[in-house]
Each structure stands twice: as structure tokens, then as C-alpha cells.
């Protein structure tokens, strides 16, 4: 009788085993489908999530692409409800909030490498263009970071008066701008260069230095100062 029960329910105890494995060892040795499977335990309590996890990976290609997918696209996968898609979509934003909080000490951005590595975390999981400004003191220590505006998939309007008001509010002596290209094309567009020059002119008129403007891709970034596009 015991053997028959085991054969009819081969997944019995699977959730508990996977949870225990995570608690004992963390996610380092988990495969992508196991990570999704474990996550979905908390949105789908009474169903085998293994098949759904595999379907998600098959539909989107990788774990990161699953997390970056729009909730409406996730819901096209069989077994994924609005509740489940919301949980999945929260992951990169939770990671972004965690990184922002863990770096809340007065980080010094005194090189393009330091600044790029720090700033790219603010764009994790964003599928639309967003424009950030980082207000700095004279030693390039961060005073504050602000999400100035968000746009469409390929355009983020940003107005000099708006960013100047933010800089004045934080008593910024230097600023760094950053926006993302969801297309993952890091080359600055003509519009990027023109709008950056307008911002530089506006800030120079009030003696605030524009240190850099970063374009952020999915996995990398480019410094417009490093490639000579600020002047």
C-alpha cells in the first residue's frame, strides 16, 4: 500500500524539501526553474509549480527575462494569474529597493567606474525609460538621488527647470544624470546629446557642475563624459 501511494504521488513532500534546501544552502545551487518553482509556492499554494516554472522559462528564455517581463505577458502563460504575475514582477523592484537601502550611506562617486556600477542598480527591472539625477557635494558624495521622470519605451522628456529645482532643494554642488535604454543600445542618440548639452548650460549658469550622464543598458552602461559627449 505504501509503495502504491508513493507512485501515485511522486511529488509528495517536494515543497518541504525545496524549502529546506533553500534554508540550508541558499539559492546558489538552484537551477532557474527551481528558483521560480520556490517563488511560486507563495502564490500558488495548491498546485504543482514545476511545470509552470518550466513554461515560464520556455516562454521568456531565461530567469532574468521572466522577472523583467510585463505582468500582462506573464499572465499569457498557463497557470499564471494576476496574483502570481504581480509577485514575479516585484522581484527586480525588491532587489532595487534592497540595493538602494543597503547603499544609503554617503557613497562617493568620484570616478565613472564607481558611478556607473552604483547607478545601474537603480534601473534594474525597468522596462520603460527613466531619468535619474544624483545630487552630489563637492567631494562627489551622494546627497540624494531622484527619479525625475519616466517615459515611453524609447523616450524620456526631461526639463531643465525641473531638475534645477531638485538640485536646489538638495543643495547640490555637482550632479550626475542617468537614463536607461530598454533597447540595450548604449550609444547616445542625437537627442541624448542635445538634451544633455541643454542641461549642462542650465546648470553652469547657476554654478552647479554636471559631472557625467550615464546611459544604462540591461547589463552594462556607458559614460557620456568618457566618450567626450558632454562638451
Q: What is the pLDDT of residues 146-156, one digit of tens each?
A: 999 987 656 66
- Residue 48's CB: how many other CB atoms inside 10 A? 14
Phi-psi sector, 79: left (phi>0), alpha (psi -120 to 50), beta:
left
Q: What is the pLDDT of residues 165-184, one digit of tens each?
A: 999 999 999 999 999 999 88
Q: What is the pLDDT of residues 1-59, one digit of tens each?
A: 444 444 444 556 889 999 999 999 999 899 999 999 999 999 998 888 999 999 999 99
**Mean pLDDT across 121-130:** 90
pLDDT score recorded for residue 6:
44
* Contact predicate 175/143, CB 8 Å: no
**pLDDT value at 197 more than 50:** yes
Task: Supply 169's cell numbers.
Answer: 532643494
142-150 β-sheet, strand order: 142-150, 130-136, 174-180, 209-216, 221-223
DSSP three-state, residue 134: strand
Helices (H) and strands (E) in the chain, counts: 10, 5
Separation CA 99–CA 93 (nearest Å):
10
pLDDT score recorded for residue 35:
96
pLDDT score recorded for residue 3:
44
* Contact predicate 214/224, CB 8 Å: yes
E strand or H helix that includes residue 197 = helix 190-204
Q: What is the pLDDT of residues 61-117, one digit of tens each?
A: 999 999 999 999 999 999 999 999 999 999 999 988 887 777 666 789 999 999 999
pLDDT score recorded for residue 154:
61
pLDDT score recorded for residue 61:
95
Amino acid at each position: 500500500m505504501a509503495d502504491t501511494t508513493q507512485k501515485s504521488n511522486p511529488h509528495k513532500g517536494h515543497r518541504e524539501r525545496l524549502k529546506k534546501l533553500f534554508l540550508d544552502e541558499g539559492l546558489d545551487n538552484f537551477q532557474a526553474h527551481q528558483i521560480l518553482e520556490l517563488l511560486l509556492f507563495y502564490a500558488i499554494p495548491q498546485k504543482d509549480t514545476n511545470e509552470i516554472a518550466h513554461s515560464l522559462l520556455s516562454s521568456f528564455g531565461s530567469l532574468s527575462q521572466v522577472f523583467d517581463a510585463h505582468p500582462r505577458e506573464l499572465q499569457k502563460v498557463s497557470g499564471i494569474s494576476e496574483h502570481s504575475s504581480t509577485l514575479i514582477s516585484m522581484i527586480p523592484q525588491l532587489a532595487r529597493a534592497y540595493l538602494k537601502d543597503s547603499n544609503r550611506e554617503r557613497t562617493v562617486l568620484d570616478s565613472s567606474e564607481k558611478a556607473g556600477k552604483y547607478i545601474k542598480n537603480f534601473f534594474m527591472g525597468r522596462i520603460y525609460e527613466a531619468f535619474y539625477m544624483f545630487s552630489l557635494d563637492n567631494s562627489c558624495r551622494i546627497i540624494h538621488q531622484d527619479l525625475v521622470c519616466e517615459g515611453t519605451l524609447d523616450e524620456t522628456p526631461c526639463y531643465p527647470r525641473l531638475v534645477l529645482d531638485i538640485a536646489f532643494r538638495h543643495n547640490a554642488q555637482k550632479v550626475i544624470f542617468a537614463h536607461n535604454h530598454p533597447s540595450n543600445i548604449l550609444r547616445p542618440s542625437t537627442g541624448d546629446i542635445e538634451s544633455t548639452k541643454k542641461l549642462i548650460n542650465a546648470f553652469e549658469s547657476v554654478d552647479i557642475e554636471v559631472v557625467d550622464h550615464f546611459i544604462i543598458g540591461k547589463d552594462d552602461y556607458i559614460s557620456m563624459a568618457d566618450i567626450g559627449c558632454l562638451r
